[in-house]
Structure 1
Amino acid sequence: MKQLYYKKRAYVNITIIVVNVLYFLFLELKGPTEDLDLLKQYGAMYAPIVVGQGEYYRIFTSMFIHIGFSHLLNNMIILFVLGDNLERALGEIKYFIFYFVCGAGANIISMLISIQSNRLTVSAGASGAIFGVIGGLIYAVAVNKGRLEDLSSRQLIMLVICSLYYGFTGTGVDNAAHISGLILGILLAVVFYRKPSRLE
C-alpha cells in the first residue's frame, strides 16, 4: 500500500498564510502599508531599533508584514503552492520550526549585512522564510531522485533563478534575506528531512 502524502492537509502552512493576510488587513486599517513609518511602528525590521532599543521580536514580527498588496500576494501565492509540499514532507512540528528558523535566520543575516554596509533600511516580508521553504524542497526533491509529489528539480531551480533575477534587477528587494533563507533552508532540510520508506 503506497503512502498518499498529497491527501494530507497542511494546516500549519494554511495558518501562516491566514495570519499574514489578517495582519496585512489590520495594517491597512491603520494606514497604507507602503508607509514605512507605519510598518516600523508595527514590527518591521529596522536595525537601529532592533539592536539599539533591543526590540528583537521584530526578527519574527517582520515576517508577517508586507509592503503593499502585490508584495503580500506574490509571497502568499508561492507559499500556498509550495509550503504544503514541504509540510507534508517534514510533518507539522518540524515544518513550523523550519519556517520560523529560516525566516528569523534570514532576517538576522540581512540585518548584519545592512549594518556592516551602513545601509540601514526598513525591511519586511515573508520572503526569507519562503526562500527557506524553496531551499528545503530543493533538498527533498534531490533526495527523492528529482521529484517530490508534483514538484521537480527543474521547476524549483527555474523558480529560484527567476526570483533571484527579479531581485537583483529590481529595486527595494532584500536579496541578502532571499539568499540567506535559501541556504538556511537547504542546510536545515539536511537535518530535518528523512526520505520515507516505500510501502507496497
Structure 2
Amino acid sequence: MYGKRRNAPVTDFLILVNILVFLYVALRGGMRDDEVLLRCGASYTPYVLERREYWRLLTAAFLHFGIRHLGNNMFVLFVTGDSLEHALGHVKYLIFYLFSAVGASAASLAVEVAMGQKVLSAGASGVVFAVLGGLIWVLIRNRGRFEEFRIRNLLFFSGVMLLSGFFTEGVDNAAHAGGLLVGFLLAVVLYRRPAVTLFSTDMT
C-alpha cells in the first residue's frame, strides 16, 4: 500500500520560511540575543503597546530562540499541518495560519499585561497549538476521524503538550492555550465539511 501523497504547499512553504528566518537571525548573531530578536520582530509588550508596533504579533511567530525550539515546532507542524490544509484548502489554511499567529500572540500579550510582566516572546508554538485546535474541530465535524487522526488520540496529544508547558521553564503557556482556542474557533468559521453523495446515476 502507498501512503497518501503529501499535497500541502502552504504548510511546506511556511516551514521553509521559518527555517530561512531562523538562519537569517542566526547569521546576525540572534537566537539568544534579545536585541537582535527585537530588531527582527519579536514581540515585547512595551514595543507593541507603547510604540504601537502591532505587526510584532505576527512576525514573532516566525522567530525562534534556538534550533531545538525551531525543530520541535516545525516537526509538529509538518505532521499535523498538511491534514488541516487538506481540510480547509490552501487559501483558507494560509488565512488560518496568519490569524492564528496574531491570535496566539495577542493572548500572550493580554496575560502579560494582566500580570504586569514585560517578556520577550517569539516562536511558532502558538500557531502549532492553533493547528491542533483546528484539527479537533475538523474531527468533531467528521465523527471523530479525519485522515490518519482520531479524536481521542489528538485530544490526548494536545493535552499532554499543553500540560507539559506548565512544567517547563520559559514556555509561553498563554500563547499555547490561546492558540488552541483561537485555532478551534477559526476552524468553526472556516471549515466546511464536504457534502457526501449517497447515490450517483449514469445518465449516458
Q: Would you call these one fold, judging by a TM-score over 0.5?
A: yes
Q: 1:87 aligns with which of 85, 88, 107?
A: 85
* Cα distance, 1:142 vs structure 2: 1.4
Q: Which residue of 2 aligns with 1:118?
A: 116
Residues 133-176 of structure 1: CA distance to partner in whole angstroms, max 9, x if unpaired? Answer: 10000010111111100111122112111111210011111111
* Count of aligned residue pairs for this structure pair: 195
* Cα distance, 1:90 vs structure 2: 0.3
Q: Which residue of 1 aligns with 2:181?
A: 183
Answer 1 or 2: higher relative contact order, Cα 8 Å, separation at least 6. 1
The answer on whether the counterparts of 1:103 and 1:130 sit within 8 Å (CA) in structure 2 is no
Structure 2: which amino acid aligns with 1:102? Answer: S
The answer on whether the counterparts of 2:30 and 2:37 sit within 8 Å (CA) in structure 1 is no
Identity of aligned residues (%): 44
Unaligned runs of 5+ in 2: 199-204
Q: Which residue of 2 aligns with 1:148?
A: 146
Q: Which moved more, 1:120-129 or 1:153-162?
A: 153-162
Unaligned runs of 5+ in 1: 1-5
The answer on whether the counterparts of 1:99 and 1:129 sit within 8 Å (CA) in structure 2 is yes
Q: What is the root-mean-square deviation in Å for CA atoms of aligned residues?
A: 1.3
SS in 2 for 1:169: coil
Residues 30-68 of structure 1: CA distance to partner in whole angstroms, max 9, x if unpaired? Answer: 114022222112110001011111211111111100011
TM-score by length of 1: 0.93
Q: Which residue of 1 aligns with 2:23?
A: 25
Runs of 4+, deviation exceeding 3 Å: none
In structure 2, how many angstroms separate the alpha carbons of the residues matched to 1:79 and 1:92?
A: 15
Q: Which residue of 2 aligns with 1:172?
A: 170
Give the number of the structure whose alpha-carbon radius of gyration is greater.
Answer: 2
Q: Which residue of 1 aligns with 2:45?
A: 47
Q: Which residue of 2 aligns with 1:58?
A: 56
TM-score by length of 2: 0.92
